[in-house]
């Protein structure tokens, strides 16, 4: 690894019953933020006790996102143009 460069995050298995969030909401902020917030509201209405990892509320770094994915029961990808480049 280069000096000053952080090591890539390591994924780890978290038992389902120990996950912090019910849903990790993955999206491209520039073209899906409003839609994902609406999706979150709809899910919250149908599943009132549900919890969410959302970048505007959590740590949006690579390490933070890896932690969020590993500690979420479900991963939802809101697929839009450019999402795989962000």
In which band, very low, low, confident or very high, does the pLDDT at 3 lie, cut at 50, 70 and 90?
A: low
Q: Which of 62, 51, 63 is nearest to 20 (CA)?
A: 51
> Cα–Cα distances in Å, from 50 out to 21, 43, 57?
8, 8, 15
Predicted local confidence at residue 4, as pLDDT: 65
pTM of the entire predicted model: 0.82
Beta bridge partners of 24: 53, 75
Q: How far apart are CA 66 and CA 28, in angstroms?
A: 16
Q: What is the pLDDT of residue 84?
A: 77
- pLDDT band per the 50, 70, 90 thresholds, residue 86: low
At 23-74, the pLDDT tens digits run 999 988 888 889 999 999 999 999 999 999 998 899 889 899 999 999 999 9
């Amino acid at each position: 690894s280069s000096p000053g460069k952080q090591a890539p995050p390591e994924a780890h298995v978290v038992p389902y019953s120990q996950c912090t969030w019910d849903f990790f909401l993955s999206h491209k902020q520039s073209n899906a933020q409003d839609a994902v917030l609406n999706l979150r509201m709809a899910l919250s209405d149908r599943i009132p006790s549900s919890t969410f990892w959302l970048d505007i509320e959590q740590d949006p770094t690579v390490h933070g996102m890896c932690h969020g994915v590993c500690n979420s029961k479900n991963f939802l990808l809101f697929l839009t143009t450019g999402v795989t480049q962000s």
